[in-house]
Amino acid sequence: MLDIDIPLLTVLDEQTLVAFTGRVNVLDKITHQMLGVVVLREGHIFRCQYRGAQGLKAFFNIVIEGAQLVPQEFIVEPEIIDERDRQIHYPYSVLKSKTSEVLKRYQAVAHLRPPPQVKLLPRASFLDSDDEVTDSEFQVLCTLTEWNQVDDLYRHCPLLDYEITESLVSLRRKEAIQVVSARTSGR
């Protein structure tokens, strides 16, 4: 089980207990800027959006930032939620139990994440080869064809952040990707 307090899970524990239907808005605690939302219906998580990510990726990104002590604030608002809006089909208990594994894997590779301004491209020679790739590596390569800046890759790839990092490490070892450039902070 978790040995740290995750703010989102504390709020969701309360809301699932009372079979809440509505939105849990996630705000930056300092600026009060809206960062995302967790939508529940009768205590079940239906949908999640956070910093441009959707679904499970958004849910686990909120959890990871909470574990890293990023200041978050939650505002609970009752709302009518349509059954058709569901994008997360796991029970809350499953999501909560998976959280420990996701955090552990994220922390194991967080230091390997490339800087956000770096641009990566698949190597044409690798794409023409018969080398095998995993499903995760394939998704990263596909995303890199459209979004080659690391920051955009993490935002638009459907994989969880630790899965992207693990795939980048293995693709780099296979010499499947190359660093093209790094944007300077002076723009």
- Give the pLDDT of residue 42: 95
- pLDDT of 187 reads 44
Q: CA 111, CA 129: separation in Å to the nearest integer? A: 30
- Take residue 179 and report the two structure tokens written for it: 């660093």
> CB under 8 Å to 172, separation ≥6 — which residues?
none
Q: What is the pLDDT of residue 38?
A: 98
Please compute, for residue 159, the number of CA atoms within 13 A of its CA located in the half-sphere on the CB side: 23
Give the orientation angle of helix 161-173 with respect to helix 55-67, to 10 degrees.
90
* Tokens 């070892």, residue located: 173
pLDDT of residue 186: 45
CB atoms within 10 A of CB 65: 20
Question: What residues have CB less than 8 Å from 50, skipping those under 6 apart?
Answer: 26, 35, 36, 37, 58, 59, 61, 62
Give the chain's residues under pLDDT 70: 1-3, 182-187
Residue written as tokens 């509505």? 22
Model pTM score: 0.85
